[in-house]
Structure 1
Amino acid sequence: MCGIVGILSKKGENVAPLIEKMLSCMKNRGPDGVGLATEDEIIYSNTFDKVFFSQTTANSVLGHSRLAIVGGSCGSQPFVSCDKKLVLEHNGEIYNYRDLRRTLETRHEFHTSTDSEVIIHLLEDHYEKTHGDLLEAVKRTVFQLDGIYILAIREQATGNIILVRDGIGVRQIYYGENDRFFAFGSEKKALWKINMSHKIHRLLPGYAMFIKQSPSEGNYVTTLHPITVNTNKSIRSKYPILYKDINSALNAYKDALLRSVEKRVRDFDRIGIVFSGGIDSVIVAYLAKQMVPEVICYTSGIKDSNDITNSIDIAEKLDLQLEINELSEADVEKMIPEIINVIEDDNMGQVEVAIPIYAAVKLAREQGIRVMLTGQGADEIFGGYSWYSKIVQKFGYDKILEYMIKDVQLLYKETLEREDKITMSQSIELREPFLDPNLIDTVLKIDPRLNIQNSGSNEFDTLGKRVHRKLAENLGIPREIAFRIKEAAQHGSGIHNMLDSIAIKNGFDKSAIKNTYLEQLNKRELMGSSQRYGHLFETEQIWNIEPHIQMYLEKIASNILPTISK
């Protein structure tokens, strides 16, 4: 994993000093090295040094900071093709890179053992076969990749750049422009740092964006609308039901899950788990423990919170190594500005979910963990949320898959970008077994009747994820753990109530805040699933944004976001 940035001047200005600003504000994304690529040269350094950045003068620069997970210390980016025609920056992880490399070794000279170098040579092959059609070469390349990625590819002869995002959207890239520059970066703060705070966009999952430089027209940069790239790993709009009985569903799911976890932990002797005591993180930890010599689970929350209590109980029963970051009110209050800075958001729903994850990941960083697994995605693909049963009651099983697919498609926006920023703030790479494209493709072909039960009454199926839970039991996880209902992270960790207390202590009293403030919140980007499903519960939102907490967070954010943009 790493940090990626790029900037192109529309007026022929030297942009190298701006690249330094953009990369420096994301140092934690890539503490193991930095590289720059211009039209004329590629240079590398082991440290962020002003002298290093001053070596380059150019009106178009790609910048990269590296977190070394695969390939050790010899994988500095950007990479250049053998024929020097193409330059690549890659943020992500390619799980089939060894197989791809074997098909390329007879035609290309490899200098590292990284997955990123495999991509540049694969791209070079397709570029040659398509007679220099860069977009078609990119399409053919990503079709062969099994993994998560952001790619920034530059054609050296023209200066043209293509940005590509994987079909699930596990990693993100933002872009923007003004009258002077077009720029992009792994986080918004990279753009804020160069005073590009308005009209920042994210590249959507499964899309590519072509940026064309026209030196003959005064270096004017033309940004073409993003176009869909058939990555062979994107979420489809519809899935056929192939698994209609529990045994076939369990067998298909087990095979896909084991392969997904195995590819994400191979070659590691030590790995961490973002652990909450819910079945999603439990099953990931349980399987990883059978594949990796040392697996450490990390959880956090206030003293005696349900998440901590349950995690201790489960760790003892399953013989899992557990580390706990117990938070006091003072800890949480101190952490709030850090969280807002890291996730680049002051929305209450995002902040209160982020706090326990951030605390767990921070402890993992202190103990030297470099890669962690998470259980994110299981609720969406298995129908684990309470509102899914409500959808079944109102619309029947024919509609439920449409809603679940939509939720998976929107995970990038509501969950994945937040958690990438949290883990990368601690220089830790996060991997998501439940978001493996093959696993998603398998699970969404399971008859939803097997996961969400409809009794025909007005009662909800508050359990959900029944195939998921049954497999956990079949694997050896005790039934009382596999079928335990878990609270949302902000409640199970005790963070929500603590935020309430902190807001009141700082003068934001519930009784002093008018209800009309909620109307203002509706105009903002709230947690999407709350907006999409609130009407099913005859309420505006499932998660009620408490105005006094939200106003407190906005007050804190007002002292942070302007600082970021300077």
Structure 2
Amino acid sequence: MQFPTAEGEQLRGAALETVRQALETGEPLSGTAGFAGAIDEMLVRDVLGREPLYVEAVTNSPEWAFSPELLDNPELVSAGSVVHDDGTTEQQWALPDPEPTTDHQDAIATVRDAVLTSVREPDSEGLAIAFSGGVDSAVVAAGVPDAPCYVAGFEGCHDVEAAREAADLLDRDLRVVAFDHEDIVRAVPEIVRATGRSNPMDVQIALPLYFTAEQAAADGFDRLAVGQGADELFGGYRKVVNPGEDHRVEADTVRGATREVVSTLPEQLPRDVLTLRAAGAEPVAPLLHDRVVDAALRLPPELLATEDGRKIGLRHAVEGVVPDPVRRAEKKAVQYGTYAARELDRLARQAGFKKRMDDHVGQYIDQLVAES
């Protein structure tokens, strides 16, 4: 079985020779920001699934694509795997599990070098920043000081206010993308078609990303830099603080829970990448570069999350680069900080899908898709 070219491209995210070397050595973090596609009569997807890749879920079908909407029955290729030309799948790469660095200063210095190198790497031409006012997007913005910053949300929402305050401290140009109910009704079917996902959580998260990228693209920017990956890699979730007492994770240690959260990235990232591309902007995710992943995986638990704070190592690492109020600020999940979740729920109830109904928002999303 041969894999035909999909969408005119064979491989995304890395050079052929880089991926060939990674295949030969088995090195999971080979110095890229992720890759996926066809190479030497096989399909590959990097260990964190930073590039989406789909195959037709039919036995021995050679069809594949970077987007699920191009296939009849798309199936996401497992991260770190190789699909051979006989249709078999083999796990090629596994996420490293290094021992934690015991010297805190050394660990922080390694993170700082990795993060600053990565955020300064992108060319600023045609680049805009998705900016929510938190430490993640602030350090991304610091790396490309000439790029404009965009934030999307309902007026008065947490993310817009936080972004305005942070932009003032950073002395950055901020463009606010205010979306409303009509925008949500228009965008939901487009997001569902692009991502192949219609569950409320995915749609709620995707909405502000979509509007941010759409406006940036309309303004002439074809790439959007995002802070994706920082919460997962650096211990940004509340559930990793006391994992033994939190039913949302199976691990009972901070490092174990953080690793568990990192393992969700291959399923999450296709939603974000496909949403941004559908809106007209190519994503740039410097905090997901291999060098940052490697540095984050070596952090000891006390530099990840404690009762006193989260993303501790990252916050220390960007001292002097990001203003202290921004560096220390906690932020809400994007679907809540932008009011996307609240307003989608409001629309569902206004359309007759009451909260007492099973999955009332999901039913409303299905109706919007059916009517589009």
Q: Does TM, scored on the shorter chain, surpass 0.5?
A: yes
The within-5 A match list for 1:397-546 is 399-414=253-268, 416-454=269-307, 461=308, 463-472=309-318, 474-511=319-356, 513=357, 517=358
1:258 is matched with 116
More strand by share: 1
Aligned residues of 1:243 and 1:445 also touching (Cα < 8 A): no
1:174 is matched with 54
1:206 is matched with 80
Q: Partners in 2 of 1:420 and 1:465 — Cα distance?
A: 23
Judged with a 3 Å threshold, the aligned counterparts in structure 2 of structure 1 residues 147 and 180 are, in CA distance, closer, same or farther, namely closer
SS at match of 1:446: coil
Judged with a 3 Å threshold, the aligned counterparts in structure 2 of structure 1 residues 235 and 178 are, in CA distance, closer, same or farther, namely closer
1:134 is matched with none
Aligned residues of 1:244 and 1:446 also touching (Cα < 8 A): no
Instruction: State how many pairs are aligned.
Output: 368
Q: Could you report, residue by residue, the CA deviation over 1:126-179 in whole angstroms, capped at 9, with x for unpaired residues?
A: 7xxxxxxxxxx882288566342113135xxxxxx2111112210011112547
1:476 deviation in Å?
Answer: 4.1
Q: Could you report, residue by residue, the CA deviation over 1:265-313 in whole angstroms, capped at 9, with x for unpaired residues?
A: 14x4342111111211111112222xxxx21111100111111111111
SS at match of 1:300: strand
Judged with a 3 Å threshold, the aligned counterparts in structure 2 of structure 1 residues 426 and 333 are, in CA distance, closer, same or farther, namely closer
2:91 is matched with 228
Q: Partners in 1 of 2:22 and 2:84 — Cα distance?
A: 11
1:61 deviation in Å?
Answer: 3.8
1:489 deviation in Å?
Answer: 0.7
- 1:148 maps to a residue whose letter is G
Aligned residues of 1:168 and 1:437 also touching (Cα < 8 A): no
Q: Partners in 1 of 2:274 and 2:348 — Cα distance?
A: 25
Which range moved further: 488-497 or 334-343?
334-343
Q: Partners in 2 of 1:239 and 1:184 — Cα distance?
A: 34
Aligned residues of 2:31 and 2:290 also touching (Cα < 8 A): no
Where structure 1 has 5 or more consecutive residues not aligned to the other structure, the ranges are: 1-6, 9-59, 66-76, 78-88, 95-115, 127-136, 155-160, 212-221, 455-460, 518-546, 561-566
Q: Could you report, residue by residue, the CA deviation over 1:507-535 in whole angstroms, capped at 9, with x for unpaired residues?
A: 11224x1xxx3xxxxxxxxxxxxxxxxxx
- 1:172 maps to a residue whose letter is P
Q: Percent identity?
A: 23
SS at match of 2:5: strand
Judged with a 3 Å threshold, the aligned counterparts in structure 2 of structure 1 residues 370 and 556 are, in CA distance, closer, same or farther, namely same
Aligned residues of 1:244 and 1:447 also touching (Cα < 8 A): no
Residue 372 of structure 1 pairs with residue 315 of structure 2: no
Which range moved further: 422-431 or 316-325?
422-431
Aligned residues of 1:90 and 1:149 also touching (Cα < 8 A): yes
SS at match of 1:182: coil
1:559 deviation in Å?
Answer: 4.7
Q: Partners in 2 of 1:283 and 1:257 — Cα distance?
A: 8
SS at match of 2:144: helix
The within-5 A match list for 1:9-408 is 61-65=4-8, 89-92=10-13, 94=14, 116=15, 119=16, 139-140=23-24, 146-154=32-40, 161-178=41-58, 181-192=61-72, 197=73, 200-211=74-85, 222-224=86-88, 226-230=89-93, 234-236=94-96, 238-245=97-104, 247-263=105-121, 265-266=122-123, 268-289=124-145, 294-391=146-243, 399-408=253-262
Aligned residues of 1:235 and 1:405 also touching (Cα < 8 A): no
Q: Partners in 2 of 1:279 and 1:392 — Cα distance?
A: 27
SS at match of 1:171: coil
Judged with a 3 Å threshold, the aligned counterparts in structure 2 of structure 1 residues 253 and 346 are, in CA distance, closer, same or farther, namely same
Q: Could you report, residue by residue, the CA deviation over 1:286-345 in whole angstroms, capped at 9, with x for unpaired residues?
A: 2222xxxx2111110011111111111111111111111101222222222222222211
Q: Could you report, residue by residue, the CA deviation over 1:357-404 in whole angstroms, capped at 9, with x for unpaired residues?
A: 100000011011122211111111111111111216679x97221221
SS at match of 1:258: helix
**Once superposed, which parts of structure 1, at least 4 consecutive aligned residues long, lie more than 6 Å away?**
none
Q: Partners in 1 of 2:22 and 2:82 — Cα distance?
A: 9
SS at match of 2:242: helix
Aligned residues of 1:174 and 1:185 also touching (Cα < 8 A): yes
Aligned residues of 1:383 and 1:451 also touching (Cα < 8 A): yes
**Higher relative contact order structure (alpha carbons within 8 Å, sequence separation ≥ 6):** 2
